[in-house]
Structure 1
Amino acid sequence: MTVLVTGGAGYIGSHVVWDLVDRGEKVVVLDDLTTGFAEAVPPGVKLVKGDVGDGALVRSIIADHGVDAVAHFAAKVVVPDSVADPLGYYLANTVKSRALIEAAVKSAVERFIFSSTAAVYGSPAQERVTETTPPEPVSPYGRSKLMTEWMLQDAARATGLRYVILRYFNVAGADPLGRTGQSTPRATHLVKVACEAALGRRSSLEIYGTDFPTPDGSCLRDYIHVADLARAHLLALDHLAAGGANLTLNCGYGRGYSVLEVVDAVKRISGADFPVRFAARRPGDPARVIATGERVRAELGWTPRFGDLDSIVSHALAWERRIGPAARLARAQAGGGA
């Protein structure tokens, strides 16, 4: 199997690329390197610097490398930024995804894995969301991803394209072998930001909102280890390779942790008591989003290996220590993050 991985120099994409290489698959990465790094791509993997919305480029990559499947990660992902710049998010996440899907269809690529998000659910009324929970996104980010889901579904009805859509919950942690992790200089993900604060790379940590309708007033999220999520993508590719049906699956553990619980875990595991400041809610943040997670287990045979908060935090801390301030500065000067 030859897999084209868009955004494969980024955080989640690079983990999937490493896993594909580990099992002997051929991989081609397409990334514009605005938020990814070339060094996140495994040695020997072809990296094409370019725009996922460039249909002619995508078609040439598919033809030149005999691509059998596309795994699409390239996207803008910061919810508050999507509220401030909705058109930029619709361009990056929807318009360019349409161009990619069209290139795949015109090139007769039949397998497509799409990196979607729990943000399509918005602020669900129920305690845990299933794949049948009606999508009601509250941010342009969530809407931009849902639109791409619709395009994939419609394209599949009209062509030979088959897909698996994976709706991620809160992704955190790093490769247990220390090969890649989240390195974005201006990261907003809670676990990473808290780890940076624990290591003295931030003067304090801001918590946005303490008046949510949750047990401790802070947001509840279902955190999933990036290594477990990466494995779900490989299982999804195997599912399609075996002729499996189109699927839309939640990727989460079915266990919610509050912002305050995550902060306490980082302090406990790191041994650092960093300052915490409280701020108003951010636009587009729902109070709680927690998966059920049964269907991805049943359909793909997915079994998490790191399904606990301590593992997630421990691996995230190890990655932060590994990259260090000097490496972070070099990456920031180069532009982007992994």
Structure 2
Amino acid sequence: MIFIPLPWQRERMPETPPVFRFAPSPNGLLHLGHALSAVLNHDMAKAENGRFLLRIEDIDQTRCRPEFEAAIYEDLAWLGLDWERPVRRQSAHLDAYASALERLHRLGVVYPSVMTRGEIKAAVAQAEADGRTWPRDPDGSPLYPGRERTYSISERTALLDGGKAYAWRLDMQKAISLFGSAPLTWNENGAGPTGETGTIVTDPAAWGDVILSRSDAPSSYHLSVVVDDALQGVTQVVRGRDLYHATSVHRLLQRLLDLPEPLYYHHRLILGPDGHKLSKSNQDTGIAAFRAAGRTPQEVRALIV
């Protein structure tokens, strides 16, 4: 029998076992979309004699609840998945994200911002009323105006001392400029929304000045995910296509922080009756709901094939 390596197997040293991870947030019950991602990561790791990690992304303490974390373990075990212990919980590693943010401070690519969502909405509405087109990110949200980007040191100090809630944002254009004209890419072994695969050229500028940290959340998803993947030695990032475009931001942060580049595999999304991706608020698609209805793990797996 001739062994033909999978695409990501050709990109790594043969003696290094691949590391996969499933990283849910305990802010609701898992649904079929989560089941697809978890099963893919688990089964790919098993097929390659690799490692399968479970990570709990619980930085947002206002939405994350212990009962949802317990439900994650129960649902995944019921599906027949096993993972390495101990499980990494983001809330126990805030110092790692603070260190990464400090490094970005030293590079001079972050700035404090204080505009609220309402103020951003008003600024966008006024611009559009004046006939201007306001740029939006791949998810459809308006880009941040960035009025604080050009503040002097004294103005930033006054802003931080003013007592108003603020967030640290990435100065996107400055961050991109640090690497000259050489294109930043990633290796896609799954497929993008319209079938893109292979070497993908990033477009982080499409996201504008993304948030890296807020007063109520010490690290954003973008920052924490690249730090966690690096610290856990994750080599294969297998996740839904809803995060395909965000990979541009993640690759830029990896370059800024001198972190290793994993291989990416973006899988299809499971859509609801309305044609949109599933939400944790759709209880009828929850794994626990299928279990309560008497469905077997094999039947649930068949639904996501």
Q: Which has the higher contact order (CA 8 A, sep 6+)?
A: 2
When normalised by structure 2's length, the TM-score is 0.32
Which entry has the higher C-alpha Rg, 1 or 2? 2
